Structure 1
Amino acid sequence: MSAAAVQFRPRPSNERGNADHGWLKTFHTFSFADYYDPEHSAFGSLRVINEDRVAPHTGFGTHGHREFEIWSYVVAGELQHNDSMGNKEVIKRGDVQMTSAGTGIRHSEYAHGEKQVHFLQIWAKPSTSSLPPTYYTRHFTDEEKKDTFVPIVAPANSPNVSHDREAAGPAPVHAPLSMHATLLSPGRTLDHALQTSGQRKAYVHVVQTSGYNTGESAGAEVKVSAEGAEGVTLREGDGVYIVAAPGSVLSVGNAGEKVAEVLLFEMD
């Protein structure tokens, strides 16, 4: 594969798994719960990207997890988290809560207050098994994310990644994966250079901020491109799998008239 070789595989929003349970409206990028598609079960260490909307005073009761890195990225509303490690916290827009489940935790997540909570729940497979359970929170303002890719999650062994429960900078994840976020203004384009070793994988997701929509994608419009490869156009809820040579540069441009909230994952 040459340095310019980049392959795009779109993941349209209306082809994601989805369910409306009344209290929960959810989309699944990967196979999850009752949704199974062997074409969409994992990508690198990524295992779950669920875009959830939970009605006020409802949520996920206490349940257990093992051997996954699990984090929540809050888009709107407030999410109450309780777990068996003694953590009790309400997180809101801009907050990221990371749980390294390791040898086992139990937790619950509920919509807090009188408004629906909209958040993305993301899981990755850790590189090492039987880790001790740990918990982290991070906060990122809208102003920080305006027209720049902000590192939200980074590998736990990266330089300058804090392992304090609360700290500045990205949350540590025990997987070869990073996640960036931006609020991209109309007419703006951001470049992201992939790491220079090993064949790279990336996934770009446009957050569905304009409301739950199981039909054709609408809202903000984003163009993802790279030198030597035909780009793809995404709208809210859409994503794209990317396989690229090390050192490739991805360009993410806002081609519409609305601010786009975009997540960019990079992994081995």
Structure 2
Amino acid sequence: MLLHVSTACAAGEQEGLIPEKPFLMGETLREGTHLDIESELNLIKGTLIQLNNNFSSEKTERRIMKELGLERARQFGWPNTYVFTKAMGEMVLGHLGCKLPVVIVRPSIITSLLKEPLPGWMEGIRTIDSVILGYARQALKFFLVDPDTIMDVILHLVNIVLCGVFSRRCNELSGKYRLAMKLIELYAPYTLFKGCFDDMNLERLRMSTEQNNDGEYYFDFDPKTIDWDDYFYKVHIPGVLKYLA
């Protein structure tokens, strides 16, 4: 059996109930389009060859390839290259793994460890941790997010940045504003997400493991047993500051 870790965000910016189903080869999130993975690979190779022939710098090459990836992702309905390539990975596994049992798990935002072996431990800065660190370092005073998907626009900071009265302070705030806008652009598809993921397969698996273990915990992954306030304030945020700051 092959276990593949994908991401729930591979669903893109869909709304409503999102079922647990694999991506079929060539399937996209934008109606009227078809994804040919081989063509996408050839496009990447061709662009790199052209850049090398033009003696482009590493910085220029990196910028152009990022722009190309984002353009191709949005062409087929995904907001960025991360979730775009994750979806393509699922397609390839589904297509090539017909003779091998394949399990695809799609976690949402992954945070730090709850308990063992080190509560709060994490490997590298991920997703919301960039926001936590930005706030802890006083580089980020606001962020675009609302559980009811209502956009809360902070105009006061913009006015301060544009006033131009104190040059040094203006530059400082401008840098913080650019950081905030960059993070907003990156995370908006997730902080304003309007979909709801169906998890009946996972729930059936959890119930099955409980029934087969005489009531004892064998592999506890029920989110209802977690005190989320206690976890974030006493485990995750202290872990971010300890291991990443």
Structure number with bigger Rg: 2
TM-score, normalization by structure 1: 0.23
TM-score of the pair, normalised by structure 2: 0.24
Higher fraction of helix: 2
Which structure's relative contact order is higher, taking Cα pairs within 8 Å and 6+ residues apart?
2
